[in-house]
Chain A
Amino acid sequence: MKLIETDVLVIGAGPAGSSTAKHAALNGAEVILIDKKSEIGSPKRCAEGVSKEGLKKLGIEPNSRWVTKELSGVRLISPNGTDVWMKEDQVKLPEAGYILERKVFDKFMAMDAARAGAAIMIKTLARGMRKDYDGYIVSCESMGEDFEIKAKIVVGADGPESRVGRWGGLKTAVKPKNMESGIQFEMVGLEMEDPDVIEFYFGSVAPGGYAWIFPKGDDIANVGLGIVSTVTNKSAYEHLVEFVKNCPATQNAQPVELNVGGDPVGGMTKTLVKDNLMIVGDAAGHVNPLTGGGIITALEAGMYAGEVAAAAVKEDNYTEKRLKEYQEKCKKEIGDSFDKYLKTKDYLLSLSDSDLDSIAAAFQDTEFENISTKELIKLLIKVSPKALLKLGKLF
């Protein structure tokens, strides 16, 4: 059987995989990036929102070919329709940003990896791997041909399916309570109150998660929701159909695309490396547990993974101990903040629809630029002192 040898094999060409491949190649490693799909970035499994600050931090210039909409604020809607507006000109919103066209964006990221020197193989499925004395041999299949790739370092960037990590002995299986079932229509004919603002709908409309409308310009938007299957008997699809039926903005909207996918929202996986092996992106739980967003963290973690992998190649040292530099960096830059988000999520999910309505009513006319943490807590105590106890350690 044909055997291809390389320094670094990245499995999965989403943002995490492409970023890993790019930065490993930029730092001198020989890199192969494989993806099982025939088109990188398609189908999308994402609401497509990214923060401006996140892109800036990574040195990625927004490009009109993959930015569909620049946002100016957020609208939060409670179960009874009470809304809270937060506009960028009134309050600094760290998550304010852009809506992407992922099918274009993901290809751009892969093209960046190719330009940095990575070899890309599409329609190539990794089917298993075995340990060799100085790396892994991965069994692959592409267009009817079976072959193997031997790599000093294998990077699992294979999304929430996360089989690569498990092949290497990492515990990446996601518990159902930590796997959000995401589903979304891309729709036309939206009638939003402000088409420059993203909308979040909370409460029983999406048990265990929330619903969203992310505008993509003109009258187009991603309309979706994430639920946790352990707290509802309905499917994510049934919840979405119900949401679209009842939401004022979608009464005359029509779907042009349906997207589905799991979102691992349980926080960062504890162990990200073993000898000759790293995991990154959704496969490593690099998803904000509160928002379910993971594009920026995937790109960031990929950058760290690529840099560490290339350094390990230069040093000819692929031990878990050497690769742990990547894990420690992820913990410091990404994982520690996730702990706070997890607590905030627990707090939000503990609230009933009427609690959420009371909070929205209390904040409806708040001028957020003038509100202090003390005032924020006072308001929350007034609404639900019991639930606030869960937030205690955050402050």
Chain B
Amino acid sequence: MIVKEYCMYCGECAGVCPHCLIEVRETSIDFNEEGCKDCGICIQVCPVKALAKED
């Protein structure tokens, strides 16, 4: 997952992740890429569109 520089670490992506794979810290965010099923929900809900799939 690509996290753009302007991510505000609000945690909305973590709240909707069906597999609980996102850990949001104060100023960083960790994705457990191994368990990701590419559902894209985290990308969809981001209020500032700071997430993108890797090519």
A residues within 8 Å of B by Cβ? 36-38, 43, 45, 123, 125, 127, 159-163, 166-167, 173-176, 179, 181-183, 229-230, 235-237, 258, 260-262, 264
Contacts and interface: CB of A to CB of B under 8 A. Distances in A.
B20 A237 contact: no
B8 to A, nearest CB: 5
Contacts of A38: 26
Main secondary structure of the interface of A (DSSP, over half): mixed
B26 A36 contact: yes
A166 B20 contact: yes
Interface residues of B, number: 22
29 contacts: A37-B26, A45-B10, A123-B26, A125-B25, A159-B15, A161-B14, A161-B15, A161-B22, A161-B24, A163-B23, A166-B20, A173-B16, A173-B18, A179-B15, A179-B45, A181-B12, A181-B45, A181-B46, A182-B47, A229-B44, A260-B10, A261-B10, A261-B47, A262-B10, A262-B11, A262-B12, A262-B16, A262-B47, A264-B15
A168 to B, nearest CB: 11
A173 B17 CA distance: 7
A305 to B, nearest CB: 20
B41 interface: yes
A150 to B, nearest CB: 21
A236 B20 contact: no
B52 interface: no
Contacts of A127: 23
B45 A262 contact: yes
Contacts of B25: 36, 125
Interface string B39-55: 00100111111000000
B11 A161 contact: yes
User: What are the nearest 9 A-B pairs in CB distance?
Assistant: A262-B12, A236-B47, A161-B11, A160-B15, A161-B14, A181-B47, A260-B47, A261-B10, A235-B49
A127 B22 CA distance: 11
Given A176-B16, A262-B16, A160 B47 contact: no
A229 B49 CA distance: 11
A37 B18 CA distance: 24
B33 to A, nearest CB: 17
Among B8, B15, B18, find the residue whose CB has the most chain A CB atoms closer than 10 A: B15
B10 A235 contact: no
Nearest to B14: A161
Contacts of B14: 161, 163
Contacts of A235: 46-49
